[in-house]
A and B are shown apart, each in its own frame.
Chain A
Amino acid sequence: MKMTGYVELHCHSNFSLLDGASHPEDLIARAKELGMPALAITDHDGLYGVIPFYKAARKAGVKPVIGAEVTMEGGHHLTLLARDNQGYSNLCRLITRAQLEHSKGNAFLDEASLVRYSQGLICLSGCRRAKIPTLLASGKGDEAVTVAKRYLGLFGENFFIELQNNLYPGDRHHCCELVKLAKMLGIKYVATNNVHYARKEGHRLQDVLVCIKNRTTLDKSSNLRRLNAEFYLKSEAEMEELFSDYPGALENSVHIADMCDVNLDFSSYRFPDFPVPDGETADSYLAKLCWEKARECYGEISENVQSQLTYELELISKLGLSGYFLIVWDLMEYCHRNGIPSQGRGSAANSIVAYILGITKVDPIRHKLFVGRFINEDMSSLPDIDIDVSTNHREQLIRYVYQKYGKEHTAMVCTFVTFQARNAIREIGKALGMPSDILDQMAKTVGSYSTEDIDKDLGSLEQFKRYMTSAPWEHFVSLCKEIANFPRHLSIHVGGMVISSRSLSELVPLERAAMPGRVICQWDKDGVEDAGLVKVDILGLRMLSLIHEVVKLTRESQDIDIDLDKIPVDDEKVYDMICRADTMGVFQVESRAQMQTLPQTRPRSIEDLTIEVAIIRPGPLQGNMVHPYIRRRQGKEKVTYPLDMLRPILEETLGVILFQEQVLKVAVAVAGFTPGEADSLRRAMSRKRSRRGMEEMRQRFIKGALKNGVSEKMADEIFDKLKGFAEYGFCKSHAAGFALLAYQSAWLKYYYPAEFYAALLNNQPMGFYTPEVIVGDARRHGVEILPVDINRSRYSSSVENGKIRLGFRYVKEMGEAAIVKLEQARACAPFSSLGDFYLRAGLSRQATENLILAGAMDCFGKPKRQLLWELGILERQGREGMMLNLPQHQVPLPGMTELEEVAAEYRVQGLSARRHPMQIMRSGISRDGVLKSSEVLALFPGTRVRAAGYVVCRQAPGTAKGCVFLTVEDEDGLINIVLKPSVYQKYRYVARMEPLIVVEGVLQKKRGIANVIAERLIPLRIESQRQLTMYPPPVPKARNFA
């Protein structure tokens, strides 16, 4: 292709948040179409998008020029481009300064810093909002000359006057003035187009982004939006026409691009040198540690252990990863020393080194794991070690990392919160001026996460049909699709920390996170990884906090010390409970889908649980992997192997490929791949697969297989099986780690239910169920729930004689400060009356009222309404008036009905301690033939039934061909409801929006699992409305899962 004589050097991607209207990849694609040899990226005050930009550019053969449009103090813009890596580092430093010296979101660069870090940078004088053009436009030519001279002095021949003509009134004149100035001072000039979108059509989305940023509508924002649609990537011919009066303006853009050369591979700065004892290297120290600890772990070192450990240590040293392992080992040591529950997760658990160092808890030798999945000789990217740590202790561990490696070398990874169906509907609709109540309904009822099918999705709903013929609707739909995956704002990643040997602010700009004092880097985890930097994921896992807390509560309430590393892992009673699907709150096996399969797969060991954890997930379900396994597990299908040589690999999973490790092993066995090749095969299959890359892999696979005497047809078949699976597979080592936690939590639930449920409540939100459902399950397991009590409750729920006493934290308005106040007052003496409490605790009226309604003052022996009345009087008197002991009026008040009491409990603390609302509603609906869940489950399959309850969760898995699943709870337990697509379409609104429903349908029982196939849904609200006028109906927050 002919390369043009123009390169765009001022170009915003959508990482100029809510301003740029094209993905970096789309800009590159357009530049390539236009024949540009290079393209610059110059987002506002950041390098957020440079990694995807750089990658796409390299791939397309377009040279990436890395830069930014910085905001100087005073608000003026300036365009900076990195000439070389020194310039790039300086750019990072400058942006970091501009960001960290000011409040979040208000980056301003001071000129002194610019003076200090100007080396290696090319400076363009900037857009119409830059200093020199502004001065010229306001007739201050002399000042403009002074400023230009200053930059000339600073950047020398790397300073250029930037000419822009976006066909604004006066642009032509301004260019003329700028060129005069340039000629006078002997500065070269260059044309740019201040690009904000790849193609002209992009101006619409750009207008909308401006509206979203300014929280306004298109109609009301004409002064904020751009005047025209000229901010697209223009061809040489288009630019030539605009700048024909200024020869050289276009050529200089090519000249500048030629000057720039930045390499963004930072793998040599990977991680800091880990401090090792004198005379040791990281390699030797790691080896020494491992051999020492291997003896502790295994006692006698078997030949297996010996060879595996030798192999891994050699590999780690060869790949230069010893330092990395030492860093992670040190973190885990810190956790162990400080009693912080933690464990390594992911593919790292395949490694014996990780096991011996205590990073992971799964013995790869005993579980026959395969290290090639974690590290192998031709590693194209770094291995990941993720650390799961008790959520309550995560912050402590993060602080340790900062302290150990220094603020300069450590930052949290960011994530970009992107536009997806819901926020796209709301924000684009708002910009278009659509009514907010309709947008609200749309956003709540839209079925899919992505905006891809948004028109079909919303179009199928009756209430939106009438909008669909209107013209704005077309814009709305196409803009929603266009904005998909646009970054909207930055947020802190759940756990990714990047640690580097070189000062981080020379590699990637840093900025403030929302959390005070916390700093994040401008790249997300993919960016960090692609740049070759190492990150450690420190992920909060609430289950670890929960287990930790159960152990603590058991010690307190029963004086029993549980050592989880020593509990038997083959307890029949625990597995019986799991097989009954009595698993609410148990790690990883509590979901509706899990509960439906447990009675079929009947796991009886950690190995079985490993498989259970790995397969009952959307991926394998979608890949149709689950049913063959279940049938074989139940003995309904013969276990066969595609090839005899695959028997040892697939035996543990009954001939079905379930784990990523198996994909690798199969590729090695069948096609003679090296572990490295096999892992690239897995990667090629798993992510962003390209058809061509896949075909090449297939040919290689078949060629290798033929050599091993496998027929082409069979090789082809096996390849397809691998492909079908690889996309979704779990790695076994990860599943094994999770299976262990699943067992431990089940064991605790079985033997220490009160402590278990209390801890489950205290660690919310976690898992699949909401607190009000958890208390229901606890009651059904014979654990009594006691209401909050002003004199007995603590901050969190606690255990009192085998019963759970609810903590204050669930009561609304009872924040940490309020609870501290209350506890301090109570420490002097227990509260003897409402008046006493009012006087001493000094809480707000609302908090006090909520405590009364939650039942916290039932201990005073007065009805709630009486207490509320008294509170009103106390408030009128004030705390001073009380001291005077004014006479109190006694007024006879009607007591609250049961339903009112429960409704009030829900309102102030989201659950009722003693009663399920259905218990009370029951009398009102029993004559309608509505059965309890226990009664329903006792009936014969095929019976028509009516049941009612709370919607506990709603699921519309992509695997279910349009079926939607509801789980509904009443006082006796859970009922599963299946909505076929036609029924769902009809009752979609009820199914998605109503908290309490009556369902009518046919009972189905299959393999020990009961479902009601719904035919009709009615909101329960309507039937009981009359009773609920006093308080609004309780609205439980069912958890929705896509």
Chain B
Amino acid sequence: MAKLFGKPKEIRVRTNASGVPVSLSRDGTREKVTAIYNDWKVGDQWWGEEVERRYFRVKTSKGLVCDIYHDIGTNNWYLSKIHD
């Protein structure tokens, strides 16, 4: 079962030059990104509150598989879903 966050949780992410995450920190601990399974981009609602997000499904050094996204408007990263 995947855990969906009603409200995505803000996290800190380090990226390489192409904007691809290499590590992430949640609750103060840093985990390395060991694999990227998928990545995609979403853009919507430009006629209202515009949404533009770059998603990555990553695996971390602690074995966590999760969806994180970069909100291009605010330049913040969020954790949106954790996979079992």
Contact = CB atoms under 8 A, between A and B. Distances in A.
A203 B43 contact: yes
Contacts of B41: 167, 227-228, 230
B38 A173 contact: yes
A472 B55 CA distance: 28
A471 B41 CA distance: 25
B17 to A, nearest CB: 11
B46 interface: yes
Contact of A170 (B18, B38, B43, B44): B38
Contacts of A218: 47
Contact of B43 (A173, A227, A241, A472): A227
Contact of B39 (A167, A227, A432, A475): A167
B42 interface: yes
Contacts of A228: 40-43
Contact of B40 (A169, A207, A222): A169
Contacts of A227: 40-44
A169 B46 contact: no
Contacts of A204: 46-47
Contacts of B52: 229
Interface residues of B, number: 14
Interface in B17-74: 18, 38-44, 46-48, 52, 54-55
A927 to B, nearest CB: 55
A751 interface: no
A171 B40 contact: yes
A657 to B, nearest CB: 52
Interface in A729-768: none
A203 B45 CA distance: 12
A449 interface: no
A168 interface: yes
A173 B38 CA distance: 7
A230 B42 CA distance: 9
Nearest to A170: B38
A173 B18 CA distance: 19
A1021 interface: no
Interface residues of A, number: 22
Contacts of A230: 41
Contacts of A229: 43, 52
B47 A169 contact: no
A172 B38 contact: yes
A472 B18 contact: no
A119 B47 CA distance: 47
Interface in A221-242: 222, 225, 227-230, 241
Contacts of B42: 227-228
B38 A169 contact: yes
Contacts of A207: 46
B52 to A, nearest CB: 8
A241 B43 CA distance: 20
Contacts of B38: 169-170, 172-173
Interface string A299-326: 0000000000000000000000000000
A225 B54 CA distance: 18
B46 to A, nearest CB: 6
A169 B38 CA distance: 6
Contacts of A171: 40
Interface string A449-492: 00000000000000000000001100100000000000000000
A1011 B70 CA distance: 68
Contacts of A222: 44
Interface string A783-811: 00000000000000000000000000000
Given A169-B55, A241-B18, A475 B47 contact: yes
Contacts of A170: 38, 40
A178 to B, nearest CB: 16
Contacts of A172: 38-39
Nearest to B55: A169
Contacts of A203: 43, 46
B28 to A, nearest CB: 30
A222 B51 CA distance: 13
Nearest to B18: A241
A726 to B, nearest CB: 45
A203 B51 CA distance: 13
A432 B40 contact: no
A602 B44 CA distance: 65
Contacts of A168: 40
Contacts of B18: 241
A168 B40 CA distance: 5
Nearest to A208: B47
Given A169-B38, A170-B38, A432 B47 contact: yes
Nearest to A200: B43
Interface in A170-225: 170-173, 203-204, 207, 218, 222, 225
Nearest to A201: B46
A168 B44 CA distance: 14
B38 to A, nearest CB: 6
Nearest to A474: B47
Contacts of A432: 47
A170 B38 CA distance: 6
A241 B40 CA distance: 14
A173 B40 CA distance: 11
A222 B48 CA distance: 14
B58 to A, nearest CB: 13
A967 B44 CA distance: 50
A218 B55 CA distance: 23
Nearest to A479: B47
A199 to B, nearest CB: 14
A638 to B, nearest CB: 63
Q: Which of B38, B44, B47 has the most CB of A within 10 A?
A: B47
A203 B47 CA distance: 12
B40 A167 contact: yes
A230 B41 CA distance: 8
A842 B52 CA distance: 66
A228 B46 CA distance: 11
A357 to B, nearest CB: 60
A183 to B, nearest CB: 22
Nearest to B41: A167
B82 to A, nearest CB: 17
Given A169-B55, A241-B18, A472 B47 contact: yes
A475 to B, nearest CB: 5
Contacts of A169: 38, 40, 55
Nearest to A167: B41
A227 B55 CA distance: 12
B22 to A, nearest CB: 16
A1000 to B, nearest CB: 45
B81 to A, nearest CB: 12
Interface string A407-449: 0000000000000000000000000100000000000000000
B12 to A, nearest CB: 23
Contacts of B39: 167, 172
Interface in A143-176: 167-173
B21 to A, nearest CB: 15
A196 to B, nearest CB: 13
Contacts of A475: 46-47
Interface string A335-353: 0000000000000000000
B56 to A, nearest CB: 11
A619 B27 CA distance: 74
A34 B3 CA distance: 43
A763 to B, nearest CB: 48
A472 B50 CA distance: 12
Given A173-B38, A227-B43, A471-B48, 18 more contacts: A167-B39, A167-B40, A167-B54, A169-B40, A170-B38, A170-B40, A171-B40, A172-B39, A204-B46, A227-B40, A227-B41, A227-B42, A227-B44, A228-B40, A228-B42, A432-B47, A471-B47, A475-B46
5 contacts: A169-B38, A172-B39, A203-B43, A218-B47, A432-B47
Give the top 8 A-B pairs by smallest Cβ distance, nearest first: A167-B41, A169-B40, A228-B43, A228-B41, A229-B43, A167-B40, A475-B47, A168-B40
